[in-house]
Copies of this chain bind each other. A is one copy, B any other.
């Protein structure tokens, strides 16, 4: 979704061609180390946007250099963009890989949940350390986007670390007075739909 709307927004500034859109997107998010969009995605997304009528191919320039297919936003595209600005971004599903790993480590014979937690915690601390260093080196005059992203990352890493502590505490509780594991019965589970 992000790239789709980014293209729409950048074309709302002025018509552009694919290669230029890629550069503009990178400038927008503060460099390719933050978000490296592949050319393939730009061009296929442009195709889809064109097919949806949100964008049109305006012209093909070729003055001395290689071909440039210039795209422009349509009124429908502007409407789409405006309604995107006016709504909040949806809850990023809690489709968390670590959560699945943790739950599996509790259920699978031979796996060690405390080790899993410790491995993850070490990685989070390492990342926090790295990001904090980057953050200190960042220049607030020229790298606004980069700094905002770093700040967000720091806050989420801290949230993850606090959560890991809570998880461990709760596992200890459960351990002291163990519960029936949520076991799957092959048949006859009531489910609503």
Binding site for B on A (CB under 8 A): 1-2, 5-6, 9-10, 12-13, 20, 23-24, 27-30, 32, 34-35, 63-65, 81, 84-89, 91-105, 107-109, 111-112, 115-116, 119-120, 122-124, 127, 141-142, 144-145, 147-149, 151-153, 155-156, 158-160, 162-163, 166-167, 170, 174, 179, 182-184, 186-187, 189, 191-193
- Using CB atoms, name the residue of chain B closest to A93: B35
Q: Tell me how many chains of this kind the complex includes.
A: 2
A156 to B92, CA, bound (A): 10
Residues on B with beta carbons closer than 8 Å to the beta carbon of A163: 151-152, 155
A-B contact pairs, 15 of them (CB 8 A): A2-B95, A9-B104, A23-B184, A23-B189, A85-B112, A85-B116, A88-B120, A91-B127, A94-B152, A99-B145, A99-B152, A145-B182, A155-B159, A155-B160, A156-B156
A27 touches B116 (CB 8 A): no
